[in-house]
Amino acid sequence: MDDIEISDGQVSGVVLASGERIATNHLVLAVGHSARDTFEMIHKRGIFIEAKPFSIGFRIEHPQSLIDSARYGKNAGNRCSCGGLQAGASRRQRPVGIQLLHVPGRHGGRRDFRTGTRGHQRMSQYSRNERNANAGIVVGITPEQDYPGDPLAGMEFQRRWESRAFELGGGTYQAPGQLVGDFLAGKPSTEFGSVQPSYTPGVHLCDLSTALPEYAITAIREALPAFAKQIKGFDLADAVLTGVETRTSSPIRIKRNKDDYQSINTKGLYPTGEGAGYAGGILSAAVDGIEVAEAVALSMAGPRNT
């Protein structure tokens, strides 16, 4: 889909990349959280969107055995009739959902610190039977505080730090990385230790102190020892940080009515899921999709709808 046709505030059709036009007055818009071309198109068409909070940070990899030990203690590695204990996940990782830990942030306020399985460019390993435990450590940011401006300012904010990551990675599509010990000490990393990163096409060691805004770097440096109080070894010197994590959720919200789930200024448009700003993972997106499907079905019950 390349375009949405709107007539008198009502969806009237869509235009495909092939040039084909499909007439419709009901359109479910369920794009992903990185559909930047679509975000730009709907903004240009006058469909109401607003900037929303999201998170930025790094991936972090530890030896899986360290996380197993932190999770299960003396029972780590034990087998049982059901097939054995599942390999541990940092901060009780789940394929969906992100765990929160609050620590002091800038301006005397508080920042959200999160670890989870969601990965920038889908770099997370879903399986927990790998040699590394792969998690994310990210900082919550807001439009008011961090990227004021038009509704697409958050998207431009993401692009800025992704471009910086490309530079720090050597311009070869390797990701920039740094050992946790060096990150905390404020010095560049030059060689890997006991943890070999899993990211392909590879990790280029450097100094990550300029990979994110200064307040985010400071906050993550404060958070690592805080996590270590809950997960022994989380601040392991040889653990590897990989940048950057910017796609934790959509930077925009396509605002909709609470009662009928339609766009607040474009009748017949039903924004749903992560890209629309109404979900934060696979499960919540599925639930939102079900609710929108029910709303569409109700709206089509009348004789005048097609």
Q: What is the pLDDT of residues 19-38, one digit of tens each?
A: 999 999 999 999 989 999 99
Distance CA 174, CA 178 (A): 13
Distance CA 89, CA 83 (A): 17
Distance CA 305, CA 288 (A): 23
Distance CA 167, CA 163 (A): 6
Q: What is the 3-state secondary structure (H, E, C) of 140-191?
A: EECHHHHCCCCCCHHHHHHHHHHHHHHHHCCCCCCEEEEEHHHHHHCCCCCC
Q: What is the pLDDT of residues 249-277, one digit of tens each?
A: 999 999 999 999 999 999 999 999 999 99
SS3 36: helix
Query: Domains in the chain, please, with CATH?
Result: 3-51+252-299 (3.50.50.60), 54-245 (no CATH)
Residue 101 pLDDT level (bands cut at 50, 70, 90): very low
Q: Tokens in use for 146?
A: 């961090």
Question: What pTM was estimated for this model as a whole?
Answer: 0.81
Share of the chain above pLDDT 70, in %: 80
SS3 298: helix
In the predicted structure, residue 92 carries a pLDDT above the cut 70: no
In the predicted structure, residue 8 carries a pLDDT above the cut 50: yes
Amino acid found at 168: L
Q: What is the mean pLDDT of residues 213-229?
A: 93
Residue 294: CB atoms within 10 Å: 11
Contact 255, 49 (CB under 8 A): yes
Contact 126, 211 (CB under 8 A): no
In the predicted structure, residue 14 carries a pLDDT above the cut 90: yes
Kindly state the greatest CA–CA separation across the chain: 69
Provide CB contacts within 8 A for 44, sequence distance 6+.
none
First-to-last alpha carbon distance for the chain, in angstroms, is 20
What pLDDT does 299 receive? Answer: 92
Contact 176, 208 (CB under 8 A): yes
Provide CB contacts within 8 A for 116, sequence distance 6+.
91, 93, 94, 97, 98, 99, 135, 136
Q: Is the dihedral of CA 160, 218, 99, 232 positive or negative?
A: positive
Distance CA 215, CA 118 (A): 22
Q: Tokens in use for 130?
A: 């790998």
Q: What is the pLDDT of residues 106-138, one digit of tens each?
A: 443 444 444 443 333 333 444 444 688 888 899
Share of the chain above pLDDT 90, in %: 68
Q: What is the mean pLDDT of residues 232-259?
A: 95
Residues forming a β-bridge with 253: 50
Q: What is the pLDDT of residues 181-208, one digit of tens each?
A: 999 999 999 999 999 999 988 999 999 9
Q: What is the mean pLDDT of residues 54-72?
A: 87
